[in-house]
Amino acid sequence: MRRSYRASREGFEKAEKAFQLKGKTQEYLAGAASCTRQTVNKFFAKKPIEKRLFQAICNELDLEWGEIAELELEEEQSCRNSVMDTARENICEITKEDYSTTKVLTPPVSVVEKQNVNCNSEQLVITFTGDIENLQKDPNYVAGVLALMQAVSKDASLKIEKIELGSIKITFSGSPEGLKRLEELIKSGNLKEVEGMPVENVQLLTGVTIQEEQDKFRLVREIITQGGEGRNLCDVNLSGANLRGADLSNADLSCADLSGTDLRNVNLSRSDLNCADLSGADLTDAELSGTYLHDAIIDSATRISNKWRLVWEILNQAHESRNLRGVDLYNANLVGANLRKADLEGANLYNANLYNANLEGANLYNANLEGAILWRANLEGAILEGANLYNANLVRDIVRRYIRRRSIL
């Protein structure tokens, strides 16, 4: 299911005319549509943005979004085909390898057998509360789980296809009747736990969703084994995947579904996470230097360091006169940020990207701006006394005009 849209050639012309008739600025349009100006820029650059924000921008321009959107994106389809080539060769094959994202505890079967089982049947994914490592160490326990599920479903053909993280996800295949019976038992509350493991959730997968899950699994394996640096992963579904330790630096992950994804120790430096869904994702120790977080979705369940959550808040929950005294914003991507009248005294903005940021009236007394990008930043009335501007990217004459007292140039 696509999460993003971009304007077609004809749609762009309509949107541009509507924007000119409105006589408003991009900043105004961004505020009205509850997004950042960077997303508005991408909209008018005919780049994909999140569906919800695409529709909001069209609404503010009094346009019907369906008439503006390019619904068939050849370039996007080409990208999808390139990352899914392996999946297309054996579309129904279930990979049975001991791999970082999936631990399968059943013996492998032939491709023909897999096709017979999985192309014409449904699957049931049950999520349990528990420790997957302990489960994997005890094959007898797994066998007990399977035997119990076969008994309650009255389906001797029931099999465990794979066991994954999140918390413990076990995928079962079997007869449609048996799978449906299990689903009903869980949803009705008559089956609340299995072998001491509380049941958290149940999901019945159709043939289409099975294929999507298989494609996602293969893409994850490709990223881990071949690397993800600089890849075009715009709008892909990687929800719930285990990408721990992967290199996704400089990758285009705009509008990607990364909800519940394990991104621990992942290198996301300089990657584009514009409009990406990071709700419930684990970004513990992830590298986010220079990462584009405009309009990314982060919620209370997202595990992310205080520093990068603050960067996200500055970009997406803008308000004036922020108290940012002494904060560490080293290597932060703050392009277009609203920092008007912010108190940044003593803040560490070393190598921060403040291109086009609004720093009007900001207190930058003794702030470290070494190597920072300040090109086109609004520094009118900013206090720069004692600020370290060594190697900062700026227009020196303009800055001198705004300095109230001496600063280090």
The pLDDT value recorded for residue 3 is 74
Report helix, strand or coil for 283: coil
**Contact at 8 Å (CB) between 118 and 205?**
no
The pLDDT value recorded for residue 374 is 95
**C-alpha–C-alpha distance, residues 321 and 362, integer Å:** 8
CATH class of 4-72: mainly alpha
Cβ contacts of 250 within 8 Å, gap of 6 or more: 229, 230, 269, 270, 271
Q: Cα 265 to chain center, whole Å?
A: 15
Domain spans in the chain, listed from the N-terminal domain onward: 4-72, 91-205
The pLDDT value recorded for residue 44 is 94
CATH class of 91-205: alpha beta
The pLDDT value recorded for residue 94 is 30
Return the exposure string of 177-198: e unless at least 16 CB atoms fall within 10 Å of the residue's CB, then b.
ebbbbbbebbeeeebeebeebe
Average pLDDT of adjacent 10-residue blocks, the chain of 409 residues: 82 94 91 90 90 93 92 45 39 33 33 35 80 76 89 89 74 88 92 89 74 82 92 91 94 93 96 95 97 95 96 90 96 96 98 95 97 94 94 66 49
**Residue 3 to residues 71, 109, 257, Cα–Cα distance (Å):** 12, 35, 8
Q: What are phi and psi of 114, to 5 degrees?
A: -60, -40
Query: Would you say how long the chain is, in residues?
Result: 409
Question: From its phi and psi, is residue 336 left (phi > 0), alpha (psi between -120 and 50) or beta?
Answer: left
The pLDDT value recorded for residue 116 is 36
**Contact at 8 Å (CB) between 369 and 349?**
yes
Amino acid at residue number 259: S
**Contact at 8 Å (CB) between 242 and 100?**
yes
4-72 and 91-205, same CATH topology: no
**Contact at 8 Å (CB) between 113 and 103?**
no
